[in-house]
Amino acid sequence: MSTKRNNPETIAIHGGDYKSDPATNAVAVPIYRTTSYQFNNTEHAANLFALKEFGNIYTRIMNPTNDVLEKRVAALEGGLSCVTVSSGQTASSFAILNVAQAGDNIVSSTDLYGGTVSLFTHTLSKLGIEIRYADPSDPKNFEKMVDDKTRAFYGETLPNPYLRVFPIKEVSDIGRKYNIPLIMDNTASPVICKPIEHGAAIVIHSLTKYIGGHGTAVAGSIVDSGNFDWTADPKRQPLFNEPDASYGGVIWGKAVPELTGANVPFAVRARVCLLRDLGSALAPDNAFAIIQGLETVALRMKQHCENAEKVVNFLKKHKEVTKVIYSTEHNKPIADRAKKYLRGGYGPMVGIELKGGIEAGKTFIESLKMFYHVANIGDVRSLAIHPASTTHSQLNEKELAASGVTQSYVRLCIGIEHVDDIIEDLNQALNKSSKGKLRAVS
Ligand code: PLP
């Protein structure tokens, strides 16, 4: 019998050091709805602020409910420390703002969630942080864009709509030659991929999606692997090697390992500087909802992936479908990356292009009876959307082409309903989709 406590099914329920609430022995994680925490005395208060002692100060920066979630997400990803934040968007913003300042650049994959593209191209550029885009089909594209102001590489494990698995180890290895950390967004592939095992330094999630799983709360997380040497090249990572005037001149790269015994300056700086200054704290009520979802994430991912594979086989044979996009349905070497990086399933998302183009796509979505037509991904329910007119509608033609969204592309997030019911719904909607084409022509 396996007693390995690092199985994801077990971590999701028991990960971190929470057994029961220390104050009440409650087994379910209590929602600590408090903004503040009583200091024992003035020395205790001063020590907490000076980071000489670790403990609760104020819920914008930490909270005991969030703490349980943070420890579990860190354990699930095989990292050392985690900071939860108010959304996945905050997680990606903080991950960049924690390493880069005006004049610096980040080299990012072109295969990104549309909201991340907007954040990078519009908001971060206005703050003076340049995002350079590299096509991940060839990892060497990342190296070509490095200069002495490059502070991090950024990628998504299983980005939609292309659903091409990111070459994590290949890009991480390039980064480590230059002391550049790889930040991975693992939102679409918790449990089935652990980017840290392949060299990622930082892993972020929109917990809103598969980890929460039920579409009930918006949340994000940033995991620090503890595997990156932030002090190896002080010029490369100034934010971790120069005195921080906002915190009494502390040098984060040196001080955090000394104070905590763990190499997690990225997580500590994100918490005590970015949450302190920018807010975006996760409400403990939402942390509770995400903790409940997290408990079943391993089970759900298995079912999502199993159903998705059956759906792919069905769609490949359907007369109205011209193309099926799935992590394993690519040419080599891209398809091999799915086998190399994903374990226990090839992902829950499937893309299709329809014979009848955009009009057929719209009729198809409107004809679905069980699927929900929503912007979200990662719900127990099956979901469908037409990205070109919704999630990716703020991208220009060039950005759309780079992100792989065609006008007729429909994204499906396969839920955990019985697969026969999923296929039946798809089949009846696909059979109606050609009528949309005829209607458009007439
Ligand atoms: N990253 C990915 C891959 C996403 O799909 C999303 C949202 O769809 C986000 C980040 C942003 O997450 P949130 O909606 O929680 O802000």
> What is the reported pLDDT for 145?
98
Which pLDDT score is estimated for 308? 98
Pocket test for ligand 1, best of 113, 203, 210 (most atoms within 8 A of CB): 113
* Residues forming CATH 3.40.640.10 domain(s) in the chain: 15-293
* Closest residue by Cα to residue 368 from 387, 383, 356: 383
Pairing of strands 130-134, 105-109: parallel
CA of 36 to the centre of ligand 1 (A): 29
* pLDDT of 442 above 60: no
Task: Specify the residue with its C-alpha closest to ligand 1, atom 12.
Answer: 88
Atom index in ligand 1 nearest the CA of residue 188 equals: 3
Instruction: For the chain, give the mean pLDDT.
Output: 94
Q: Is the pLDDT of residue 439 over 70?
A: no
Residue range 156-214, pLDDT digits in tens: 999 988 999 999 999 999 999 999 999 999 999 999 999 999 999 999 999 999 999 99
User: Who wins on pLDDT, 90 or 51?
Assistant: 90
Q: Tell me, in angstroms, the distance from the centre of ligand 1 to residue 92's CA.
A: 9
Which residue out of 85, 154, 189, 206 has the highest number of ligand 1 atoms within 8 Å of its CB and is therefore the one to mutate? 206
Atom of ligand 1 nearest to the CA of 89: 16
Q: Among 15-19, 25-29, 412-416, where is mean pLDDT lowest?
A: 15-19
Do residues 337 and 174 make contact, with C-beta atoms less than 8 angstroms apart? no
Residue corresponding to tokens 């970015």: 274
Neighbours of 313 (CB within 10 A): 12
Q: Using one digit for the tens of pLDDT, what is the confidence trace for 265-289?
A: 999 999 999 999 999 999 999 999 9
The residues near 414 (Cβ < 8 Å, ≥ 6 apart) are: 304, 307, 308, 311, 348, 349, 350, 382, 422
- The pLDDT of residue 441 is 36
Query: Whose alpha carbon is nearest atom 4 of ligand 1?
Result: 113
Q: Whose CA is nearest to atom 8 of ligand 1?
A: 376
Q: What is the dotted CATH code of the domain comprising 15-293?
A: 3.40.640.10
Digit-coded pLDDT (tens) for 376-406 = 999 999 999 988 778 777 777 777 777 678 8
Domain span(s) for CATH 3.90.1150.10 in the chain: 299-441
For residue 438, pLDDT over 50 is answered with no
Out of 73, 86, 193, 209, mutate this one to test ligand 1's pocket (max ligand atoms within 8 Å of CB): namely 209
**Average pLDDT, integer, range 228-234:** 98
224 DSSP β-pair partners? 81, 202
Indicate which atom in ligand 1 lies nearest the CA of residue 220.
15
Q: Rounded distance, CA 173 to CA 236, Å? A: 16
CATH class of 299-441: alpha beta
Residue ranges lining ligand 1, Cβ < 6 Å:
87-89, 92, 113, 115-116, 156, 185, 187-188, 206, 208, 218, 220, 377
58 vs 263: CA distance, rounded Å: 24
* Residue range 66-92: mean pLDDT, rounded: 98
Q: Where are the beta strands (DSSP E) in 302-348?
A: 321-325
